Structure 1
Amino acid sequence: MVSLIFLFWLLQSLVPLSSFDASQCHSKVQRHLYQDGDVLIAALVPLFYIFDSTKNDFRPEPQSMVQYKMRSYQFSLAFRFAIEQINRNTHILPNTSLGFHLYNVASHQGNTLGEAFACLTGFETVRPNYECRSEKKIAALLTGASWATSALIGRLLNLYKYPQLTFGPFDTILNDRSQFSSLYQTAPKDISLSHGIVILMVHFSWTWVGLVLMDDHTGAESLSDLRREMDRYRVCLAFVEMIPEIPVSSYYEPSIKTHLQILKSSANVVIIYGDHEPLHGAIMIIAAHVLNMKVWVLKSQWDETYLTKSLIFDTFHGSLIFAHHHTEVSDFRKFIQTYNPSKYPEDYFLAKFWNAYFNCSFSGPDCKILGNCLPNASLDMLPKNVWEMDMTEESYNLYNSVYAVAHSLHEMTLKQVQTHPHGNGEVYTFPWELHPFLKNIHFKTGAGNIVVLDSQRKLDAEYDIINIWNFPESLRKKMKVGTFSPKAPEGQELFLSDHMIQWAIVFTELPCSVCSESCVPGFRKSPQEGKTVCCYDCTPCPDNEISNETNMDHCVRCPESHYANTEKIHCLQKAETFLSYEDPLGEALTCLSLGFFALTAGVLGVFVKYHHTPIVKANNQALTYILLITLTFCFLCPLLFIGHPNTATCILQQSSFGVLFTVALSTVLAKTITVVLAFKITFPGRLIRWIMISRAPNFIIPVCTLIQLVLCGIWMSTSPPFIDSDAYSEHGHILIICNKGSSIAFHSVLAYLCSMALGSYTMAYLSRNLPDTFNEAKFITFSMLVFFSVWVTFLPVYHSTKGKLMVAVEIFSILASSAGILGCIFLPKCYIILLRPKRNVLYHVQNKTQSRQVQ
């Protein structure tokens, strides 16, 4: 039935002008090809797909179609080519000729086992445990291209310890020696293929990809390997479509589901991770819908014969294929060019090709002689979508398999000659005798590649990256655009010529396949809740942090000596700054300081000039001069806070401030006590007279100052002020400041000053009812109230500001408190001295005093 379907398809599709004789010839079926030799090698090659085309073509009645595998036909040519090369080689089996049995198997298991039994027994019908071959035995059986076919035959051959070599892709199940002790895999291991595919994704910044693979042990292993590599390089799967293990004829439903999933997904890149044979039906149906809007990344090359008819671009245009690297076998192309029916009349498949494509006609009842053919016709004249001249991966593995058997036979022959030098020269007696030689075989092919059958000694394969250029079908081209070498140093495994790659027709430039748009520099990726790491939002970097690359997970904080620019993509060097004289704030404070200094010096000059007047004499001239001189230095003290700090100025700032204000406040306290005692002298008392006579209040100044000096000495000896930098107070600047060292010592100095001010305020307040002609108590009260208010307010304001403002606040507090003392105590007196001189005479003072006493 299968053969009839195949013949019908050939007649209808390929040779519409065939004659009646051609139809008769097409009806003849030949199960295998044979060539005699001293030792035979058998190969089972699948040349057909049989599938139900009812759903695909929307026909009312069921129809089965036979799809001829042009790619598989090259296997048979590689097989014959290898045997002919070995027979011509005088260094391998010099006195032995190789023959072959080439069996054609369909795609269902029953037929496959039938051919295997025919190969073993020599019967056309299945007769287990019988051997019809009396002399010419088969040394080994070559199977492929799918692991399922090899496994099915392998379980049978394992019973007889029959050597079996598979030319399909390497498979872990076939590597199980407990099940397949007689099976050897020629193909290299795909240990690093997952890594190579992910490296390719990273190279093109594809982080959102789809995956289609078989739902079997190979698919599960591949999915695990890919997920591990993708997690390592942060590539995410948009979807995973597992194609179930079902007959090719039933692929329509799952393939349509996969097709819809691919269309629905936002991923522009789809990885088809599977071998040609298992996924053939699914890919055929998906390709029928002309999905030319995705980039396909394939694990192996596909048989595209059935995909393109007359389209300008087909489904796989722009695809990237990872193909095992192998050097081109010399003379193979020449062999194909000269392979024709006249030279090989027994190849009935070849005769059908010539009849189909070169309009030849069969002549004679044997259907082997063709007439009316195109002169000088050859296989390389076939359209590129139908026939491929370069040796494919499976063909190369089959070619190496034949050589592996030949080398093993050669080694076995040499050993037999050494063991039995006078033997009958028989090369091969029992099948299991070849196993030790196959297991240890290690040779280099004519192309320079090393062949090892033992899976424990196999090296990881290198890969060529092929780009499919599918223009009109006769111009199809597979262009090598790069390589992947797992043995290369890290970061150099992938070599790719990007400019040579053709993409699918919907892409005018490099395709983009991401879940979220890239986060530009200045932003960082913020994961979306419940989604993969490839799906994210872009969040601006925080203050003083930058991201100078695309898609950064975290922003990088700038060093203390740098700051982030406005776009937050660069760290700029901060400029050093301090409260300088050129700064507007520093300039204003300097002017205030010098202005108050000049004013205080003027007041001192007035008091010195009018020292003989009653109002000056009445308030202890010595204390007045000490207070004014101290205030002049207090007004100059802020100049130490302005300008570039150094160790000397940092120490002098706080110590001079503390000592000068202590002298000023102790002087005010002494004046207050003097005023009180002056009015208390009218009452009898030796102690008060002694105090006034001995001028004891004047000792308050050195005692109080000494206490402050002790505090400052402890401060400077334990934790003195030092030069410090503040990189955070002002954006883009590093502020050079004086660190006060011990915060406790600084606040202790302030507390001591405030306690003195509070004492002076208390004494002045108690003497508020004394006669006001000579009484300074009210003025002192107000001055101390101002002083106390300024420094109590200073503490919260000082600690709530940063940078140069902290220095400015302290300077302003010094100026304000000093100005309060100067204004409240001395300006009223200057007013009388300068503007009301009539009130600054003795009789006026006496009359005023008497009038107050009368009252």
Structure 2
Amino acid sequence: MSLTFGFLESDCKFMSQLYDIIQSSVKHHYNAPNYNCVETTMCSVVLSGPNWAESLVVGKAMDLYNSQQVVQLTFGPFHPTLSDAKQFPYLYQMAPKDTSLAMAMISLILHFSWNWIGLTISDNEHGIQFLSYLRREMEYNTVCFAFVNMIPVNMHLYMSRAEMYYNRIITSSSNVVIIYGDTDSTLALSYRMWKSLGIQKIWITTSQWDVTASKSDLTLDSSHRTLAFAHHHAEISGFKTFLHTLSPLTPNEYLASLEWMNFNCEVSASNCMTLKNCSSNASLEWLKLQTFDMAFSDDYYDIYDAVHIVAHFYEKLFQTMDNVKGYQFNCLKLHSILRKTHFVYVVGEKMIMNQKEKRQAEYDIFQIWNFPNGLGIKVKIGKFSPYFPHGQQLHLYEDIIEWATGSREMLPSVCSADCGPGFRKFWQEGMTVCCFDCNHCPENEVSNETSEYVDQCVKCPEDQYANAEQNQCIPKSVVFLSYEDPLGMALTLMALSFTAITATVLGIFVKYHDTPIVKANNHSLSYTLLISLLFCFLCPFLFIGHPNASTCILQQITFGVVFTVAVSTVLAKTVTVVLAFKVTAPGRMMRFHLTSGAPNYIIGICTLIQTILCAIWLAVSPPSIGTDAHTEHRQIIIVCDKGSATLFYCVLGYHSSLALGSFIVAFLARNLPDTFNEAKFLTFSMLLFCSVWVTFLPVYHSTKGKVMVAVEVFSILASSVGLLGCIFFPKCYIILIRPERNSLQKLKDKTSF
């Protein structure tokens, strides 16, 4: 069985010419519009394309025939207008839908990290629809237009704007330009002119635009700037063998001269190295010796598919008939098959002719290699399928790209370079999302990625801090007032030294307890004061070291109670001095208080009051472990939280009230005839004590972390040293250095000291 084909003799370049030829054909068959005078069962199949406008004219003209006797198949790019079943019920487009083309192009753009793209399209319905698809995909993926050239179809209008379109391309910072539209329009004229002028851009096109520069002598180095998307097609069985039989001598050179033929090349690594090292003239010789996967362009695949389907229909029809001679059939049978049948090739590719069920196209991605002597090769560098899961739809052959470009990365095309680590993006008003400035991250915030989707800096967690480059959060070191710390070590040595001194003074007083100077100063109160000072000097050891729940409670409570004992003892000593010198006659009530030991009760009462305050403190809001992650940039300081600040200051205030009372009483008794000036020493000790703790308050609040702890420890030591030095050092001086003054005679001699 053979199929007969008829071709129009005229080379139709304009729609008016095509319409005239169809009208002439209609008249020749004596058919009147909407009326068929001749009864016939002949079915005519019309193949039109590649321009959709030509197919539209043919489709309208076919209405003059009996539509049931005509089937129109179109090749060329899929067009939504031609898929309208109401206008064209008997028209079938061979090409699959290109609705996924925009997605495929954006996937490729994202793979190479481009976001600043130029677009040149035909200013017609087809181009505008593609622009709509492209805008939708770009918005989803943060890709922006550097410019959009909408090339008018009208030649006069195009010529008046051609320079403007050219200037947009050469002045744009975008290195990537998408070309989409009709190949026989003013857009094609622009594209050929731009390429001939050597504009250094990466052109992204469809297979209709991948015609290599067959009339130019391009070198290999200038040939890798075109990326073309072609519909994925199965291999045509036996086609390669047929082509090789056309010219047994130099088949590849012969085939390369055919304008309708392109080559798909699967280049191996070894061949790539061979080709890379070859000269321009040697490249052609190398190509002659290679075996290529030769294939049609998309339009010719569509033509092949159309013929294949018609042949398939006749074959199935005639297989069921006994006598096919002179048989003619109605096109309704062919229409029925085309609308319902899913044609499957031998290699497994499915073809669906029902326009409503048309599958989205899958694409092979090619890089155009132009060689001298007009030889062009399409090298397949990847593929795209919309039916794969998101993120797996695009697959590129990285080794081929690396060889062709010297790197797996293409020429960059971005509006603004990605902000480096430590910076954040800043958009000015009126700027697109792809264009931005870079500002340093705020303090303690980082950005450790250069991805274009990372717009803000991230604040480091409280237990981490930003490094100097602000690209990484580093864990903070945990610190506290430790014994190894220089400050902690100094305070420890001071506490140990003064503890030893206090113990020595206590030992001296115990050893010389029968001497007049010890007896005259009420040795029981002196012992009490020295023991309380001994504990005061040991209190810092509760503040130094790693805090825990026990030490946090003990350090404040012990400090509060022990210091109360010390200050109340000073108060008792002061009261004792006053009572001793105010007793002028035996039998008076003051003498009774002095001899009965009434001043000693002051210690117990004052200590009881402070103990009650501490108990309330523990019950309401006791001290606990706290962390200070803000004072030091790189450190987390572990400190003891005071709990209730009010009760903490109540304890300090109670100390101050006792000290103030002692100071007032001692000040009033400063001029009493005391040989050893006990009242004066007490006055000066309380003055020093009050000075230390008054200074403590502002200093304590102006410091943070372990320095705050050190200030409190130093205040404890300083005030304790003040009491020890002012009250006991003069007496120790007399006992140890001037023992001749430690006698009853000298005690009675008021002028001897």
User: CA 1:709/1:192 → structure 2, altered by over 3 Å: closer, same or farther?
Assistant: farther
1:220-239 pair list within 5 angstroms: 220-239=128-147
Q: CA-to-partner distance for each residue in 1:783-811, whole Å, 9 max, x for gaps?
A: 23332332333333333323322221221
2:660 is aligned to 758
Matching residue within 504, 510, 513 for 2:413: 513
1:745 maps to amino acid = L
Q: Secondary structure at the match of 1:848?
A: coil
Q: Calculate percent identity across the aligned residue pairs.
A: 51
User: CA 1:837/1:702 → structure 2, altered by over 3 Å: closer, same or farther?
Assistant: same
1:277-296 pair list within 5 angstroms: 277-278=184-185, 279-291=187-199, 293-296=200-203
Give the Cα separation in 1 of the matches to 2:400 and 2:677: 103
Determine if the alignment matches structure 1 residue 190 to structure 2 residue 98.
yes
Matching residue within 389, 403, 407 for 2:308: 403
Does the 8 Å CA contact 2:94/2:306 hold for their aligned counterparts?
A: yes
Give the Cα separation in 2 of the matches to 1:191 and 1:378: 38
Residue 380 (structure 1) shift: 6.2
Residue 453 (structure 1) shift: 2.0
Does the 8 Å CA contact 1:139/1:428 hold for their aligned counterparts?
A: no
1:107 maps to amino acid = K
Structure 1: unaligned runs, 5 residues or longer: 1-86, 89-96, 341-374
1:593 is aligned to 495
Residue 679 (structure 1) shift: 2.6
Determine if the alignment matches structure 1 residue 450 to structure 2 residue 338.
no
2:385 is aligned to 485
Determine if the alignment matches structure 1 residue 309 to structure 2 residue 182.
no
Q: Secondary structure at the match of 2:82?
A: coil
2:21 is aligned to 115
Residue 273 (structure 1) shift: 3.2
Give the Cα separation in 1 of the matches to 2:313 and 2:24: 24
Matching residue within 38, 46, 49 for 1:141: 46
Residue 685 (structure 1) shift: 8.3
Q: CA-to-partner distance for each residue in 1:505-524, whole Å, 9 max, x for gaps?
A: 99997311122233333333
1:117 maps to amino acid = Q
Residue 582 (structure 1) shift: 1.9
Does the 8 Å CA contact 1:794/1:813 hold for their aligned counterparts?
A: yes
Does the 8 Å CA contact 1:211/1:270 hold for their aligned counterparts?
A: yes
Residue 450 (structure 1) shift: 1.0
Does the 8 Å CA contact 2:463/2:629 hold for their aligned counterparts?
A: yes
Does the 8 Å CA contact 1:140/1:165 hold for their aligned counterparts?
A: yes
2:514 maps to amino acid = H
Query: What's the TM-score, normalizing by structure 1?
Result: 0.75
Q: Secondary structure at the match of 2:89?
A: coil
2:504 is aligned to 602
Give the Cα separation in 1 of the matches to 2:192 and 2:37: 41
1:307-706 pair list within 5 angstroms: 308-312=215-219, 317-333=224-240, 381=254, 383-384=256-257, 386-389=259-262, 390-407=295-312, 426-429=327-330, 434-501=334-401, 510-551=410-451, 552-682=454-584, 686-706=588-608
User: CA 1:336/1:422 → structure 2, altered by over 3 Å: closer, same or farther?
Assistant: closer
Does the 8 Å CA contact 1:466/1:482 hold for their aligned counterparts?
A: yes
Deviates more, 1:310-319 or 1:705-714: 310-319
Q: How many residue pairs align between the two structures?
A: 715
Residue 779 (structure 1) shift: 2.9
2:426 maps to amino acid = S
Residue 594 (structure 1) shift: 0.7
User: CA 1:820/1:510 → structure 2, altered by over 3 Å: closer, same or farther?
Assistant: same
Q: Secondary structure at the match of 2:562?
A: helix
2:148 maps to amino acid = V
User: CA 1:466/1:228 → structure 2, altered by over 3 Å: closer, same or farther?
Assistant: same
Matching residue within 166, 180, 196 for 2:88: 180
Give the Cα separation in 2 of the matches to 1:803 and 1:770: 47
Does the 8 Å CA contact 2:572/2:603 hold for their aligned counterparts?
A: yes
User: CA 1:820/1:118 → structure 2, altered by over 3 Å: closer, same or farther?
Assistant: farther
User: CA 1:508/1:595 → structure 2, altered by over 3 Å: closer, same or farther?
Assistant: closer
2:198 maps to amino acid = V
Does the 8 Å CA contact 2:447/2:470 hold for their aligned counterparts?
A: yes
Q: CA-to-partner distance for each residue in 1:304-361, whole Å, 9 max, x for gaps?
A: 3667423436986431111111122123345556779xxxxxxxxxxxxxxxxxxxxx
2:569 maps to amino acid = T
2:170 is aligned to 263
Residue 626 (structure 1) shift: 0.8
User: CA 1:587/1:505 → structure 2, altered by over 3 Å: closer, same or farther?
Assistant: closer
Give the Cα separation in 2 of the matches to 1:176 and 1:686: 128
2:128 maps to amino acid = A
Residue 399 (structure 1) shift: 1.9
Q: Secondary structure at the match of 1:261?
A: helix
Q: Secondary structure at the match of 1:320?
A: strand
Give the Cα separation in 1 of the matches to 2:316 and 2:63: 23
Give the Cα separation in 2 of the matches to 1:104 and 1:707: 121
Does the 8 Å CA contact 1:318/1:502 hold for their aligned counterparts?
A: no
Give the Cα separation in 1 of the matches to 2:64 and 2:581: 134
Residue 822 (structure 1) shift: 1.8
User: CA 1:836/1:275 → structure 2, altered by over 3 Å: closer, same or farther?
Assistant: farther
Give the Cα separation in 1 of the matches to 2:654 and 2:98: 84
Does the 8 Å CA contact 1:412/1:437 hold for their aligned counterparts?
A: no
Does the 8 Å CA contact 1:211/1:271 hold for their aligned counterparts?
A: yes
Give the Cα separation in 1 of the matches to 2:179 and 2:406: 20
Does the 8 Å CA contact 1:296/1:319 hold for their aligned counterparts?
A: yes
Residue 424 (structure 1) shift: 10
Deviates more, 1:604-613 or 1:482-491: 604-613
1:358 is aligned to none
Give the Cα separation in 1 of the matches to 2:25 and 2:586: 148
1:775-794 pair list within 5 angstroms: 776-794=678-696
1:106 is aligned to 12
Q: CA-to-partner distance for each residue in 1:261-292, whole Å, 9 max, x for gaps?
A: 1110111111223353443233123223222x
2:732 is aligned to 830
Give the Cα separation in 1 of the matches to 2:311 and 2:28: 22
Determine if the alignment matches structure 1 residue 300 to structure 2 residue 207.
yes
Give the Cα separation in 2 of the matches to 1:769 and 1:408: 135
Q: CA-to-partner distance for each residue in 1:750-804, whole Å, 9 max, x for gaps?
A: 2322232233233333434434536534333332333233233333333332332
Q: Secondary structure at the match of 1:723?
A: strand
1:55-94 pair list within 5 angstroms: 87=1
Determine if the alignment matches structure 1 residue 738 to structure 2 residue 640.
yes
Give the Cα separation in 2 of the matches to 1:719 and 1:190: 73
Q: Secondary structure at the match of 2:148?
A: strand
Q: Secondary structure at the match of 1:470?
A: strand
Q: Secondary structure at the match of 2:539?
A: helix
Matching residue within 142, 162, 179 for 1:272: 179
1:816 is aligned to 718
Give the Cα separation in 1 of the matches to 2:213 and 2:395: 32
Residue 588 (structure 1) shift: 0.9
Give the Cα separation in 2 of the matches to 1:326 and 1:508: 27
Does the 8 Å CA contact 1:412/1:434 hold for their aligned counterparts?
A: no
2:536 maps to amino acid = C
Give the Cα separation in 2 of the matches to 1:591 and 1:314: 79
2:205 maps to amino acid = L
Query: What's the TM-score, normalizing by structure 2?
Result: 0.85
User: CA 1:288/1:377 → structure 2, altered by over 3 Å: closer, same or farther?
Assistant: same
Does the 8 Å CA contact 2:318/2:324 hold for their aligned counterparts?
A: no
2:691 maps to amino acid = S
Does the 8 Å CA contact 1:212/1:241 hold for their aligned counterparts?
A: yes
Give the Cα separation in 1 of the matches to 2:553 and 2:5: 105
Give the Cα separation in 2 of the matches to 1:740 and 1:337: 94
Give the Cα separation in 2 of the matches to 1:557 and 1:236: 29
Q: CA-to-partner distance for each residue in 1:629-684, whole Å, 9 max, x for gaps?
A: 11111111101222222332222211111111111111122222222222332279
Residue 732 (structure 1) shift: 4.0
2:723 maps to amino acid = I
Give the Cα separation in 1 of the matches to 2:747 and 2:41: 154
